[in-house]
Homo-oligomer: A and B are copies of this chain.
Amino acid sequence: MADLKRRNTRQKDAVRHALGEAIGFVSAQQLHLVLKNHGSTIGLATVYRALADLAEAGEADPLQSKDGELLYRACTTSHHHHLICRACGKTVEIEADRVEKWADEVASEHGFTQPSHTIDIFGTCSACQ
């Protein structure tokens, strides 16, 4: 995990770029379709691999959709959470320092170490009422 050699390929860059362009969360399949439509010959498996790499490198933000699909989003800053519209998928990044701390506290109270958490809020945004 530390000494893996990574090469820079145009394919990975393409995925990175397409992910940056995308609004909100997108699935690997959607990205693959977009890239294809733009003339790329990139393979679906490659998109999956690139996204997994980006996620591990902290450049992408993974999220399990309700129906078991794995969605990604370009991740600019540090740790944050999301407020997501159920209808249109619009996403707002939210800071949650208070909740971060709360989560870590709860974990250590119960003797759990290396705490991580999943916090996402869903709702219907003003445009979709």
Contacts and interface: CB of A to CB of B under 8 A. Distances in A.
Max chain B CB contacts within 10 Å: which of A107, A113, A121? A121
Interface stretch (A7-15, A34-42, A96-104): A96-104
A123 B109 CA distance: 12
A118 interface: yes
Given A68-B64, A126-B112, A106 B119 contact: no
A43 interface: no
Contacts of A96: 102
A111 B125 contact: yes
- Copy total for this chain: 2
A6 interface: no
Interface in A73-94: 83, 85-86, 92, 94
Contacts of A117: 119-122
A112 B123 contact: yes
A64 B117 CA distance: 13
Interface of A: 64, 68, 70, 83, 85-86, 92, 94, 96, 98-99, 102-103, 106-107, 110-126, 129
19 contacts: A68-B70, A98-B102, A99-B99, A103-B121, A106-B121, A107-B121, A107-B123, A110-B125, A111-B125, A111-B126, A112-B121, A112-B123, A112-B124, A112-B126, A114-B123, A114-B124, A115-B123, A116-B121, A116-B122
